[in-house]
């Protein structure tokens, strides 16, 4: 993080790959503290939901000041997760890995999220972490849903500045093409046949599949023109 602008640079894409539906992947991936539970359960056909779990772990670490799940091994990592989320149900295990047949786990109750973090933290922050750290990959926030979460509403206020008085990094500097697509997405008079075309536009497939409410929350009015 560059302290003057608060811009974040992401590096080390050594294990990154393009996910292809139906194509098996390796399950031994991702740094242990940030490894999604379905990877620990050995699933080989996963989605970008594993990345959203990692985002939740990083966010929790930023709020706590230390790693949330500091496992010392693969098995211990699952133990650390269960300490917070409780024992996964049979249905949750099937959602993580349909081929997993061993369901013998000690029954541990989930630790309330609001008791885990400092009382002065905004409830929106705790809520976002809880939505990212779900056992079931299908129940986790997508990237768009996370960005549209109320926790980030302050960033959508016009002319907002950093604590040092500097302007915010360019959060909504979409290309002219991107803005034109957004106008189409938010139109109330769009024909269903048009959606099939828009969903194939590079970089906008997920946005096209999002609800109108989500799209309107994601980008503030002042950034749409």
C-alpha 150/C-alpha 137 separation (Å) is: 21
Q: Are residues 174 and 123 in the same domain?
A: no
Cβ–Cβ < 8 Å for 154, 168:
no
Q: Which of 101-110, 152-161, 210-219 has the highest average model confidence (pLDDT)?
A: 152-161
Q: Are residues 135 and 165 in the same domain?
A: no
pLDDT tens track for 39-78:
999 998 899 999 999 999 999 999 999 999 999 998 899 9
What total number of domains does the chain contain?
Answer: 2
Residue 27 lies in a domain: no
Task: Return the CATH number at 39.
Answer: 1.10.510.10
Residue 9 lies in a domain: no
Residue 216 lies in a domain: yes
Residue 169 lies in a domain: yes
Q: Are residues 124 and 192 in the same domain?
A: no
pLDDT tens track for 140-174:
999 989 999 999 999 888 888 888 888 888 787 76
- Paired with 161 in beta bridges are 167
Q: Are residues 69 and 129 in the same domain?
A: yes
Task: With CA atoms as reference, report the closest residue to 196 among 182, 183, 208.
Answer: 208
Query: DSSP secondary structure string, 121-184?
Result: S-HHHHHHHHHHS-SSGGGSPPHHHHHTSGGGGGGGSTT-B-TTSPBPP-SS---HHHHHHHHH
Residue range 5-16: mean pLDDT, rounded:
79
7 in helix, strand or coil? strand
Q: Note down the domain range covering 114.
A: 32-140
Residue 182 lies in a domain: yes
Q: Are residues 184 and 93 in the same domain?
A: no
């Amino acid at each position: 993080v560059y302290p003057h602008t608060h811009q974040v640079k992401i590096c080390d894409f050594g294990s990154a790959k393009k996910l292809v539906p139906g194509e098996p992947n390796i399950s031994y991936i991702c740094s242990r503290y940030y490894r999604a539970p379905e990877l620990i359960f050995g699933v080989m056909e996963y989605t970008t939901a594993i990345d959203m779990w990692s985002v939740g772990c990083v966010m929790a670490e930023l709020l706590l000041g230390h790693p949330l799940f500091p496992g010392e091994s693969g098995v211990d990592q699952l133990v650390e997760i269960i300490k917070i989320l409780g024992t996964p149900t049979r249905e949750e295990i099937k959602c993580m890995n349909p081929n997993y047949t061993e369901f013998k786990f000690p029954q541990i109750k989930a630790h309330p999220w609001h008791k885990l973090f400092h009382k002065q933290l905004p409830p929106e922050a705790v809520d976002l972490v809880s939505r990212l750290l779900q056992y079931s990959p299908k129940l986790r926030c997508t990237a768009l849903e996370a960005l549209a979460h109320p926790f980030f509403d302050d960033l959508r206020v016009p002319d907002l500045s950093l604590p040092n008085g500097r302007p915010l990094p360019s959060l909504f500097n979409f290309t002219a093409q991107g803005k034109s697509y957004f106008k189409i997405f938010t139109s109330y008079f769009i024909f269903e046949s048009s959606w099939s075309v828009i969903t194939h536009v590079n970089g906008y497939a997920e946005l096209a599949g999002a609800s109108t409410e989500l799209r309107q929350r994601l980008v503030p009015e002042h950034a749409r023109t």
